[in-house]
Structure 1
Amino acid sequence: MADFVLSTTNKTSVRKLTAPIADAAAFNGVIENVLTNNPWGCTPWEGAGESHAAVEKAAETYTARIVYEDEFGGVIGNASARAPTLAGFNAAKTELLGNTDLETAVGGSAVADPDRESYACRLRCHAANGEVYFVVFTRTSVRISSYEDDAIRDAIETWADGVAALA
């Protein structure tokens, strides 16, 4: 009977942040910096007949959290809205905070709950050695996955060490 033989070793590494990224704008700033400046030296590539940028967004989501408080500041309800872009997040959050019909229905005043907001973005990256790997940013961590060459992790780690929001 034939045996399975290891043909590749895909790795995953995670950096847990010492503090959550401050807000959605700061989070988006980190992502836009990577997309604009390509700090990891990625290269454009082609796959399945399609041209790809060196680094590109594969997925993105932002979740706003709103609580409804009674006249004493007690929480009596909540609402959340998930959007695929920062602009959608900001629009949804503004709508929830300004929706007086919803405040009346819940019976309290809408207040943003920024500590419970969540943000995530998955970047697809093409290393100069030909590897395609992913970097997933959340408000509390950075995860590198599907890479083999430790130089990929080392380059991202060195870059992240210089980004205050990723301490």
Structure 2
Amino acid sequence: MADFEEQSVSRNVGRKLATPFASKNTLNTLINTILTDNPWGCTSYVSGGSTLPAVSKSSEYYSGTIIYENTEGKQVGKISVRSKTAAGFDTNIATILGNSAIETAMGGSGSHDSSTDSFHVTLKCHSSDGELFNVTFKRDKVAITSFESVAIQNTIETWADTIPELA
């Protein structure tokens, strides 16, 4: 019977941030800069007859919790919120907090503590040598996944060392 043989070596590396992103706005400012400036020198490519961008968002989500407390400060309920866009997240939080029927049903007033929010944005990238890879930004870490060339890691690591939020 034939053996499976290694075809490629897929690497995955991560960097835990010394300080988590302060807010989703801070993260998204960095993401927009990457999409606009292409600091990693990625190149557009053709797939399925379409020209695709050098760097693009392939997924994102934002999540948080609204806590309800009664007049004695006791937690009486909570609602978890998860949205696929930052704007959708803000709208959902505002809508839930503005809903007096929910407060009545919970038996307390709601508050949103953004320090417990989580964010996740994955960028799909195409290196100049033709390799596709992902860079995922979370509130407290950054990961480069599905790459083979160490040059990709070196390029992104060198760039990240110049970004204070990625220390």
Query: Same fold by TM-score, threshold 0.5 exceeded?
Result: yes
TM-score interval, normalised by the smaller of the two chains: over 0.9
Q: Distance in 1 between matches of 2:76 and 2:19?
A: 28
RMSD of aligned Cα (Å): 1.2
Amino acid at match of 2:50: E
Amino acid at match of 2:166: L
Q: Distance in 2 between matches of 1:163 and 1:92?
A: 31
Question: Which residue of 1 is the match for residue 125 of structure 2?
Answer: 125
The CA deviation at 1:74 is 2.6
The 5 Å alignment of 1:1-167 reads: 1-167=1-167
Instruction: Please give the secondary structure, in 1, of the residue aligned with 2:123.
Output: strand
The CA deviation at 1:108 is 0.9
Query: Normalized against structure 1, the TM-score is what?
Result: 0.95
Aligned residues: 167
After TM superposition, the runs of 4+ consecutive aligned structure 1 residues lying more than 6 A away are: none
Q: Distance in 1 between matches of 2:78 and 2:163?
A: 33
Q: Which moved more, 1:73-82 or 1:101-110?
A: 73-82
* Percent of residue pairs bearing the same amino acid type: 41
Instruction: Please give the secondary structure, in 2, of the residue aligned with 1:19.
Output: coil
Q: Distance in 2 between matches of 1:16 and 1:29?
A: 19
Is residue 46–residue 52 contact of structure 1 (8 Å, CA) maintained in 2? yes
Amino acid at match of 2:151: A
Amino acid at match of 2:102: L
